């Protein structure tokens, strides 16, 4: 039975050559229709994991189920239901985009007429109609990525695996790929497993993120959950005078603990879980007391903060 789920239990991979422990006891589940991101730096084990999940290499240990099938016992069944875009692909640069798509469709068992029809549909989807008869060798990076994406879609997969689909693309090409992935996920309900080194990419696209570092998953959660793990929003207020600052601090202290309100130079820093609401409260309290403020600023922790915290070797919080 085909479904759009992924289940990974205690997955490990040791490359004998070089004795590299690339993936260490990794477990996670992806639900049907979920957009899941594997976020990690160079050498973290992202490509190794994706190659195991897509039946291209064997695990050393652990169990992997994709689309309801065991990747080791039924690799053929898994392949029928997935689309894969790897980080490095070797294709004949003399083929045109149209020829390569037709070829891929034939490999998946479409007859000649169906292959042509499917190719035209996919050229539309990734907006490569105009470049369809040009040699792939002459495509730009962005065009190649769009073609890679079209190739993964030929067999209408229930699960898409994309290994760093936007690395090296300029912002407008990156956003075009993002929009297409969102559409596939939202409109067609395709499950997507994507790897990336870009925090803002995982944040913008994924329902859930696992952060992988040195072969291990160090955190999993929604972007919001991961951000809240590292604490609170920061409200920073400056005042027209020192007197104003001290009076304001006294008033605000009646309503919050000492640890949450810190004087730094000529401003007050206030830490709160729900910064937006707190900011409204603060402005109201100071206004009622007739105290003027000069500027007020709200900032939330970014995924950058948690990424740095979790992937720094000592596991220590970076300054800032």
Task: Give the nearer residue to Mg ion in terms of CB position, either 46 or 69.
Answer: 46
Mask for 62-91, x = binds ligand ATP (CB under 6 A): -------------------------x----
Is 165 near ligand ATP (CB under 6 A)? no
15 touches, from Mg ion, ligand ATP, none (C-beta below 5 to 8 Å by class): ligand ATP
Q: Which of 38, 45, 47, 184 binds Mg ion (CB under 5 A)?
A: 47
Mask for 194-223, x = binds ligand ATP (CB under 6 A): ---x--------------------------
Q: Least Å distance between CB 163 and Mg ion?
A: 6
CA 280 – CA 263 distance, rounded (Å) = 20
Q: Least Å distance between CB 46 and ligand ATP?
A: 3
Task: Give the nearer residue to ligand ATP in terms of CB position, either 195 or 267.
Answer: 195
Q: Which residue has the tokens 């190739």?
A: 151
Task: Give the nearer residue to Mg ion in terms of CB position, either 48 or 115.
Answer: 48
Q: Which of 1, 17, 242, 254 binds ligand ATP (CB under 6 A)?
A: 17
Mask for 62-101, x = binds Mg ion (CB under 5 A): -------------------------x--------------
Q: Which of 6, 30, 45, 98 binds ligand ATP (CB under 6 A)?
A: 45
Site residues, Mg ion (CB under 5 A): 46-47, 87
């Amino acid at each position: 039975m085909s479904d759009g789920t992924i289940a990974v239990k205690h997955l490990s991979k040791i490359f004998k050559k070089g004795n590299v422990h690339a993936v260490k006891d990794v477990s996670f589940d992806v639900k049907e229709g979920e957009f899941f991101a594997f976020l990690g730096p160079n050498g973290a084990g992202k490509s190794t994991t994706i190659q195991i999940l897509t039946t291209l290499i064997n695990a050393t240990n652990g169990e992997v189920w994709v689309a309801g099938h065991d990747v080791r016992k039924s690799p053929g069944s898994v392949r029928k239901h997935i689309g894969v875009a790897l980080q490095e692909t070797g294709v004949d640069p003399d083929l045109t985009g149209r020829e390569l798509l037709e070829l891929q469709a034939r490999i998946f068992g479409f007859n000649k007429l169906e292959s042509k029809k499917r190719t035209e549909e996919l050229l539309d989807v990734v907006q490569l109609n105009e470049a369809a008869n040009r040699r792939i060798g002459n495509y730009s990076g962005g065009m190649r990525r769009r073609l890679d994406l079209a190739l993964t879609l030929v067999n209408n997969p229930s699960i898409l695996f994309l290994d760093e689909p936007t690395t090296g693309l300029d912002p407008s090409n990156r956003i075009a790929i993002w929009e297409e992935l969102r559409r596939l996920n939202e409109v067609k309900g395709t499950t997507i497993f994507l790897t990336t080194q870009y925090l803002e990419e995982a944040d913008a696209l994924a329902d859930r993120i696992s952060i992988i570092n040195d072969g291990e998953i160090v955190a999993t959660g929604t972007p919001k959950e991961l951000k809240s793990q590292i604490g609170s929003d920061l409200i920073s207020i400056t005042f027209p005078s020192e007197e104003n600052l001290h009076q304001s601090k006294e008033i605000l202290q009646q309503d919050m603990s000492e640890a949450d309100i810190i004087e730094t130079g000529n401003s007050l820093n206030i830490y709160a879980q729900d910064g937006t609401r707190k900011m409204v409260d603060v402005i109201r309290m100071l206004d009622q007391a007739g105290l003027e403020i000069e500027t007020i600023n709200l900032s939330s922790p970014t995924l950058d903060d948690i990424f740095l915290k979790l992937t720094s070797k000592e596991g220590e919080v970076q300054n800032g």
